[in-house]
């Protein structure tokens, strides 16, 4: 029964995650970025995901692909999320909220709460009151959070992340980078998993 469910899940993923940040040919599913330094550490692959909360493909990637990769590789995969606000003018606001929560050790919880509010509860993910309520739901002090979000203390951090994404040639979301200099052009689970396996295998040589 478990095997049947697993196969069904994989088939589902292969269907819904055919969307990528770039249109890539089979021969060009990832590329090395020449002016970027490789940051690989033996036995561990570092994945950076540039995302926008209002990007439905980012939500799919976060809720389907990333959990499966984490289950498969565990501590051998280090995942970092960085905002790339490009969908709407207000896209920067929930990313600022996410950055505030990260400072309090609640980044993952806040990310999940914002995605949930936008895609399941159909709430405005850029609304100050909505984000403050979410912040309190994950254990943050509401008034402090609201004050910091209103003041824009994390705007510079978000814009620096956006500039970093652009330096990789990012044109859409999600944009995935492995080990500092590998730009993924095909965000499908098979492609990313295959590349991670290749990198980890090279460590054994």
- pLDDT tens-digit series, residues 67-84: 999 999 999 999 999 999
Q: In the prediction, which pLDDT does 20 show? A: 40
As a CATH number, domain 29-36+44-203 is 3.40.30.10
Mean pLDDT over 11-35 rounds to 60
Query: Does 181 score more than 60 pLDDT?
Result: yes
Question: pTM of the prediction?
Answer: 0.86
Query: Does 59 score more than 60 pLDDT?
Result: yes
Query: Does 11 score more than 70 pLDDT?
Result: no
Mean pLDDT over 24-39 rounds to 83
Residue-level length of the chain:
205
Query: Does 157 score more than 80 pLDDT?
Result: yes
Task: Give which of 15, 162, 49 is closest to 154, Cα–Cα.
Answer: 162
């Amino acid at each position: 029964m478990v095997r049947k469910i697993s196969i069904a899940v994989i088939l589902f993923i292969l269907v819904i995650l055919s969307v990528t940040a770039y249109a890539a040919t089979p021969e060009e599913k990832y590329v090395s970025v020449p002016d970027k330094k490789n940051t690989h550490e033996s036995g561990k692959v570092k994945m950076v995901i540039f995302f926008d909360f209002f990007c439905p493909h980012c939500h799919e990637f976060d809720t389907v692909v990333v959990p499966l990769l984490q289950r498969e590789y565990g501590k051998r995969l280090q995942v970092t999320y960085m905002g790339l606000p490009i969908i709407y003018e207000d896209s920067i606001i929930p990313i600022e909220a996410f950055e505030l929560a990260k400072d309090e050790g609640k980044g993952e919880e806040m990310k999940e709460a914002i995605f949930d509010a936008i895609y399941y509860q159909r709430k405005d993910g850029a609304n100050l009151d909505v984000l403050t309520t979410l912040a309190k739901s994950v254990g943050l002090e509401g008034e402090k959070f609201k004050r910091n979000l209103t003041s824009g203390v994390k705007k510079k951090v978000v814009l620096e992340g956006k500039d970093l994404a652009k330096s990789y040639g990012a044109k859409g979301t999600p944009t995935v980078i492995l080990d500092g200099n590998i730009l993924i052009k095909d965000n499908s689970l098979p492609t990313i998993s295959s590349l991670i396996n290749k990198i980890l295998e090279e460590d054994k040589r």
